[in-house]
Structure 1
Amino acid sequence: MAMNKQALLFALFFLLYCFLRPPSCECTTTEEKYYIVGVNTFLIEEGRDLNAPTRSPSEALAFQEVGSEGADLLITHLNVASNSSWRDVLTQGLQRDKHLVNRILTHNARSSPLGTTAFSTPVTSGRELQGPEYTVAVSIGTPALTQLMGIDTLTSLSWIQCNPYKDCSSNAKFPMDTNGLAQGSEGDYITETLQVGDNTLNELHMGCAYCFTPRREYATSGHLGLGRGPLSVVSQKAGGQFSYCLPNYSSVNAKGSLSLGKYSIPSSVKVFTPMQNEPQFATSAYILGLEGISVGGQRLSVNMQVPGALPTITYIDTAIMATQLVKPVYDALRSSFEEKMKTYAPAVQPASPFGEFKPCYQLSNITSVKIPTVTLHFKGNANFDVPAVGTLLQVASDVVCFPFQQSPNDAVTIIGNVQQQGITVAYDNVNNRIGFGPGSC
C-alpha cells in the first residue's frame, strides 16, 4: 500500500511539474503523451521580425569555426525582406512547396554513395529569405567566394549560379529537372574547390547554371546536394554520413548546424530506422518505412497503405516546409488532433484556417497550452516525436495552425522541415539507416 501511495505522489508531482515548468515540457502517462507549452514558444520574436533592420552580407555569411577537427556550417536567418509580413512569408513558402512537390513527383532524381573526416557548418533558417529553405554559407573557388546555399536532402548534384546568368522567370512553364536546374538551359558541369569552415574539399563535382529564376539580393545562390547519389557532397567527400539540427523557424536568434563526415553522427542518436529502396522513385531520396502515427499516445487506426494505390513511399526532405501525408492518413491525423485539443485545451478558441493548414487556434489571453504529442512510428521501432514547434505553427498574431497537409499524390508522403525543427537527424549511408536524437539548436 505504501508503494502505491508513493507511486501516486510521484505521478501527481510529475504532472504538476509539467504544468508549471516554463516554457515547455513533454509529459507521458500510461495513456497520454502531450506537451505543456508556453504560448511564446510559437510566436515570432517581437521587434525582430521581417521588418527589422537588415543584416549586412558579411554578418549573414560569417563562419563559426570550431577548431582544427572541424567547422560548424551555420543554419541561420537572413533579414532581407523588409517589406514582407510573416503571413506573406508562409504563403510564399507554401506556394514554393507546391511547385517543388509537383516537380519531384513528375521527375526522377539520380543517385548512390562513397566518400572521409568529420567537419560541420552552421545552418540557417530561410525565414528571412521569404521561404522555407534552410541555408549554409560555404566558400567556392579560388580565390574563394562565399555563397549561401540551400541544403537539399533529395537531390545529389550541388549547383550554384554562374555569372552571367539568364532570367528564366519570363517563362512560367519552364521545366525544372531533379537537381533544380532548368531543363535544356545553359550550364556547366564543373570541378571546384569548396571550403567548409576551415576544411577544404578539393575537386568537388558540381553544376553551374546560367539559367534559372533569379533570387533576391543576398538570397541563396544554389543548392548543397546531400542526397544518396554518388555526386552528392556526402558521397564524394563526407564518407556517406552527415547529421543536422534545424533551428526554430520562428526565431532569428536560433542557430542550427550541419555536420558531415565519418564522425558526424553524435552518440546521442540511438534510434535508427533502415533506409528503404524504391527504384521507381527518385533514387537519391532518403526513403523511410512509416508504419503508423500516434496522437497523444494513442495509435491511429488507419491503413498507412492506400487501398488500390501503389505502395506508399515516405521520404524525408529539408527543402519542403510542411509534412504532407496521403489522404486517409492525413484525415485521421487531423481529426484525432482536433478532437484531443477539445479535451486538452477547452479554453482555446478556434480560428479560421490558413490555406490548407487546419485546425487553427487563437492563443490570446493565455500563457500556456496543452497539446497532444504527434509520434511517427518508423520501421525498426524508431519512434519520432514531432517537437511542439512542429505541431503548431504561428500564421498570424496570436494564431497558430496544425502545419500538416494532404499530399497531392495518393502514394507519396513527405516529412517536411517544420516537423524536423530542434532535433538531430542523422543519415548513415554506410549502414543504410536514418537516426533521430535530441537536438542542440
Structure 2
Amino acid sequence: MGCFMANFCRLLCFCFLFFSFVFGARELAVADDRQHAEEMNSLLPASKSFPNFTNEGSRSQLGQDQSKGRSVFSLPFEGPKLSLQKKPIGDDNYVVTVGFGTPKRDLTLMFDTGSSTTWIQCKPCMNCYDQEDPIFDPSQSSTFSNSSHPYTQNYHDKSYASGYFAYDTLTMATYEFKDFTFLCGHNNSGLFGAVAGVLGIGLSNDSLISQTSGNFLRLFCYCLPPTEASSGFLAFGITAALTCLPRISTPLISDPDGFNRYFVNLVGITIGQRTLQISSNDAASLRNTIIDSGTHITRLPATVYSELRSVFNEFMAKFPVAPRFGKMDTCYNLAGYDLSSVVPSMILHFDNSVDLNLDHDSVVLSESESQVCLAFAEDTETIIGNHQQRNVNVLYDIIDKKVGFSRGTCGS
C-alpha cells in the first residue's frame, strides 16, 4: 500500500509539473490558422467547417474537442507513439501506418511535415499509381461521407493528388477520430513510391495537427531511422514531449508564402573546422528555412551551396571524382575507405544557439562505395531534408512556436 501511494504521489507531482510547463507561457499563432480556416470553410458545408482557433477559444476547446477522439487506457493528452519506417515503397521517404474507415483499413502513408493535407488514393480511380496496399474503397466504409468539393494538392517536385474532400474515421493506435477530413484522391501522380497516400502534418486547420489539437496539444515529435533495418517513431501530445524534450529550442517562424510549412532561421554552417562565410543577402534566404520530412536531401541557395561544395571539395581533394547522381553533383569514389575517417562532420547553426550536428552518414549519401555524394543540392528554397534529420529527435511545439533537436536512438 505504501509503494502504491508513493507511486501515486509521484504521478501527481509529474502531472502538475508537466501541465505547468505545457500551459505556463503559451501563445497561439492564430493568424495563419484563421486565414486557412476561412479558405477551407468556403469549400465545406457548415456542418463540417473547421473551427477558428483563438487565444481564449483554443484552451476551452481542449475539453470539447476531446470527445472527437477516443483513447483506451490513456492519460489526458497522452498521445500515441507510431512506428516510422524507411521503406522502398516510400521512394526515399518515411512511412507510417494508420487506419481509415469502418471497419478499419490499415494504410501505409508517407509522413510529410512539408504539407498540410492528408490524402489517400480512393476508388474509383481515374488515374492512380500502383500502391502496395489495396486502394481504399469508400463504399465499404459505413462512416464515410463526401463533401463533393474538389481540391488538388500540389508539391514542389510537380507531384500532385486531385480529388474531393471527404470525412471518415481515422485510427492511430488506440485513438479514433470521427469525421476526420482528408482528400480522397482519384487522379494522382508523382514520386510517391507505392504508398497509399500522404499524412500531412503541416500547420493549416485541415492538417492532422489541427484536427487533433484538442487531444494532443499541438505537440508532436519524430525520429527518422537511418536504415530500413531500424525503426523510428512518430509521437503526439505528452508522449511526444516526454520522448523528445530537448535542452534548448529554436523559434518557429511564419511561412512567408502562406503555405503553413515549418520555418526556422538557419544562421550558419560549419564543415569540419571551417565556418562558411555567408553574405547578408544569403543570410536573408537562410532565415526562411523549411524543415521537411518529405524532401530527401537538403537544399541551399546557389551561392551558399557553391561555397559549401568548394569547402567539401578541399576536404576530399585526394580522392578520385565520381559521376553525379540525380541532383547531387559533387561525388567521389571512396572504395576501400572508412567514410567516418575521410568525410568531414558538419553543424547546422540555428537561432537561439541551437546546433544540429551531422555525422558523416548525414553529410553524404552513398549509392555505392565508388559513388559517395555530398547530400546537398542547389535550389531556390532552403530546405532541411530528411537525410540530414535521421536519428535525431525533432520536437515541434506549435503553440509555443518552437522546435528542438536532440540526439536520437532510433538508429540503434
- Offset at residue 168 of structure 1 (A): 6.7
In the alignment, does 2:262 pair up with 1:286? Answer: yes
- Offset at residue 351 of structure 1 (A): 2.1
Alignment correspondent of 1:177:
153
Q: C-alpha distance in 2, partners of 1:121/1:374?
A: 30
Alignment of 1:222-237 (within 5 A): 222-237=197-212
Instruction: Check the 8 A contact 2:116/2:206 in 1, yes or no.
Output: yes
In the alignment, does 2:342 pair up with 1:370? Answer: yes
- Offset at residue 136 of structure 1 (A): 0.4
Q: Percent identity?
A: 27
Q: C-alpha distance in 2, partners of 1:436/1:373?
A: 17
CA RMSD between the two structures: 2.9
Residue from 372, 380, 383 that aligns with 1:414? 383
Alignment of 1:107-256 (within 5 A): 110=36, 116-126=77-87, 128-129=88-89, 131-167=91-127, 176-178=152-154, 185-187=162-164, 189-213=165-189, 219-237=194-212, 238-248=216-226, 251-256=227-232
Q: C-alpha distance in 1, partners of 2:356/2:191?
A: 34
Partner SS for 1:435: strand
What letter is aligned with 1:142?
A: T
What letter is aligned with 1:209?
A: G
Q: 1:419 to 1:304 in 2, by over 3 A?
A: farther
In the alignment, does 2:352 pair up with 1:392? Answer: no
Residue from 386, 396, 412 that aligns with 1:427? 396
Unpaired stretches in structure 1, ≥5 consecutive residues: 1-108, 170-174
- Offset at residue 304 of structure 1 (A): 5.8
Output one character per residue of 1:44-81: Cα deviation in whole Å (capped at 9) or x when no partner.
xxxxxxxxxxxxxxxxxxxxxxxxxxxxxxxxxxxxxx
Partner SS for 2:303: helix
When normalised by structure 2's length, the TM-score is: 0.69
Q: C-alpha distance in 1, partners of 2:199/2:325?
A: 31
Alignment of 1:76-87 (within 5 A): none
Q: 1:167 to 1:283 in 2, by over 3 A?
A: closer
Alignment of 1:298-337 (within 5 A): 298-303=274-279, 305-306=281-282, 313-337=288-312
Partner SS for 1:306: helix
Q: C-alpha distance in 1, partners of 2:354/2:247?
A: 9
Structure (1 or 2) with the greater helix fraction:
2
Residue from 384, 409, 412 that aligns with 1:440? 409
Q: C-alpha distance in 1, partners of 2:160/2:366?
A: 34
Alignment correspondent of 2:249:
272
Runs of 4+ in structure 1 over 4 Å off: 109-115, 178-183, 309-312
Alignment correspondent of 2:138:
none
Instruction: Check the 8 A contact 1:387/1:420 in 2, yes or no.
Output: no
Partner SS for 1:164: coil
Q: C-alpha distance in 2, partners of 1:178/1:160?
A: 14
- Offset at residue 289 of structure 1 (A): 0.5
Q: C-alpha distance in 2, partners of 1:388/1:434?
A: 24
Alignment correspondent of 2:313:
338
Partner SS for 1:259: strand
When normalised by structure 1's length, the TM-score is: 0.65
Partner SS for 2:125: strand
- Offset at residue 151 of structure 1 (A): 0.9
Alignment correspondent of 2:324:
353
Instruction: Check the 8 A contact 2:90/2:194 in 1, yes or no.
Output: no
Q: C-alpha distance in 2, partners of 1:176/1:186?
A: 6
Instruction: Check the 8 A contact 1:227/1:286 in 2, yes or no.
Output: yes
Unpaired stretches in structure 2, ≥5 consecutive residues: 1-34, 38-51, 63-76, 130-150
Q: C-alpha distance in 1, partners of 2:344/2:245?
A: 25
Partner SS for 1:395: strand
Q: 1:181 to 1:405 in 2, by over 3 A?
A: closer
Q: C-alpha distance in 1, partners of 2:325/2:333?
A: 12
